[in-house]
Amino acid sequence: MADKNSILICDDEPDIVSLVKRFLQLDHFDTLTCSNGKEALKCLEESYEEIVLILLDIMMPGMSGFEVLRTIKSKETYKDIKVILFTVKSFKEDKEKGNELGADGYITKPFSGNELREYVKKLLNR
């Protein structure tokens, strides 16, 4: 079996998605993208075997990142998939709630490309 190498990026801001995608590609990750929670769960169902990590926005219309996180962490099939939440600096409660739900890490917006790349590689031991 080929090594899992895909990262799913889920954010309702298209600029963030394309920016993050470009940074991750510099480190030779394959990327999948979506703009809401429902799509994220669908994408996971279809491609979970390739996905190592999800970068997940909290504030999205419809299903929030927290709801997506809760679903991911409740499924045995997804137990090896790590989840990093995009948080906003002023929202301290986001991390508390994320911790409760089993988030594996946090990236605070706004972030720099290098920060993001280092954080992801460290989390995945790459």
Site residues for Mg ion per CB under 5 A = 12, 57, 59
CB of 29 to Mg ion, least distance (A): 22
Q: Which is nearer to Mg ion, 12 or 27 (CB)?
A: 12
Is 63 or 124 the residue whose CB approaches Mg ion more closely? Answer: 63
Taking the complex as a whole, the smallest distance from the CB of residue 115 to Mg ion amounts, in Å, to 19
Q: What is the 3-state secondary structure (H, E, C) of 33-99?
A: EECCHHHHHHHHHHHCCCEEEEEEECCCCCCCHHHHHHHHHCCHHHCCCEEEEEEECCCHHHHHHHH
Walk across the sheet containing 30-34 and list its strands: 30-34, 6-10, 51-57, 82-88, 105-109
Q: Output the smallest distance, CB 16 to Mg ion, in A.
A: 8
**Cα angle, residue 7 at apex, residues 52 and 20 outer, rounded to 5°:** 145
Q: State the nearest-atom distance from the C-beta of 80 to Mg ion, in Å.
A: 26
Measured from the CB atom, the residue of 31 and 35 that comes closer to Mg ion is 35
**Pick 57 or 94: Cβ nearer Mg ion:** 57
